[in-house]
Structure 1
Amino acid sequence: MTTVTDRPAPAGLLTPLLAGALVMVALGVYGRLHPPTGFAVGPAGFSQALPMKAWLTTGAFVLAFVQVVSALSMWGRLGVDIPAWVHRWSGRVAFLLTIPVAFHCLYALGLQYDVPRVLVHSLLGCFFYGVFAAKMLALPRRGLPGWTLPLLGGGLFAALVGLWLTSSLWFFTTIGVKF
């Protein structure tokens, strides 16, 4: 028999989801209101900012697949045991790879809406960081529905794939493979 205390508490999701929504909106508002500098911030080791962004996003994109495979393993869906630290560290590194990219996008370019691809990319970037905030805040909470982390993780994966498609893939197919 299931008691009231045994049931998942979807209300516990409210705080992480609200915080994530605030992060999304704050990034979008900042990106739109902050006058873009047009200045590329530190493309260390790269010829320009665009190749830096394309390659760092590609690294995060590859690690996103490691995240999916390791999550499936952790949830017993693969029949292969991948240590939990692989999931944690691939996620940390993927997130760290996105920081210089996001900083450059927000600081140098801002949220743009003139070109459909760039609008989608801008919105996906805001969505990615909002979902990331929600997932990080949901992780330590107990009693959440079982679908919470897979849904938030899937949202992160989908956002990162969309970001890669609208930036790195576009860069490599339009401009070429450059460093």
Structure 2
Amino acid sequence: MYDTEVTHRSGPGAILLLLPLGVGALVAVALGRYGTLHEPTGFAVGVAGFSGALPMKAWLTTGALLLAAVQLFSALVMWGRIRLDMPWIYGVHRWSGRLAFLLTLPVAFHCLYALGARYDDTRVLVHSLAGCFFYGIFTTKMLALSRRGIPGWAFPILGGLAFTALVALWLTSSLWFFTTAGLKW
């Protein structure tokens, strides 16, 4: 699926990244703009099995981060950075990514709909920007994957940026919650 010839190719194919990058940027800006214009409701989703919205968000984001670590490991195997014979790793990579993304959806919905974007507190500012960036770069990566001719170097960069954004989200939300409120369920 990923061969070294494609991995090291560059040149005109990089132009093909412009459309996915543009759409990803629009997604990030649209989410940030919605978060500032929408009047927060204070409540967005049921917390199904959790004691409240904050524990739900902290644990779902932690689950997404753990699956993102699986994504990182499986990508390193797929790209030959970790030499293991695991022909099934492509499926693990795809499904761990899908599940991680699905875990982020109720969290993002709650953040945007119930709380909105806030820029008055440094932690919340970084969290809001990282969330918008995560969905923008995720959109870019998914659109780039479906286009032929995209240089192979783009995928580890886009995946690494998505992983970094998710780590920033976890640090500014889940870690903050766990160190402030404890390991509440």
Letter in 1 for 2:106: P
Percent identical pairs in the alignment equals 71
CA contact (8 A) 1:60 1:94 kept: yes
**Matched residue, 1:86:** 92
Letter in 2 for 1:37: T
Instruction: State how 1:33-52 maps to structure 2 within 5 Å.
Output: 33-52=37-56
Letter in 2 for 1:172: F
**TM-score w.r.t. length of structure 1:** 0.94
How many residues end up aligned between the 2 structures? 174
1:141: Cα distance to partner?
Answer: 1.4
**Matched residue, 2:136:** 130
Q: Distance in 1 between matches of 2:107 and 2:85?
A: 33
Letter in 2 for 1:164: W
**Residue 157 in structure 1 maps to residue 163 in structure 2:** yes
Q: Distance in 2 between matches of 1:107 and 1:27?
A: 11
1:29: Cα distance to partner?
Answer: 0.3
Letter in 1 for 2:96: S
Structure 2 unmatched ranges of 5 or more = 1-9
The equivalent position to 1:144 in structure 2, one of 126, 146, 150, is 150
CA contact (8 A) 1:74 1:81 kept: no
The secondary structure found in structure 2 opposite 1:9 is helix
**Runs of 4+ that moved beyond 3 A:** none
Instruction: State how 1:1-179 maps to structure 2 within 5 Å.
Output: 7-82=11-86, 83-179=89-185
CA contact (8 A) 2:63 2:103 kept: yes
CA-based RMSD of the aligned residues comes to 1.1
CA contact (8 A) 2:62 2:174 kept: yes
CA contact (8 A) 2:65 2:166 kept: yes
Structure 1 unmatched ranges of 5 or more = 1-5
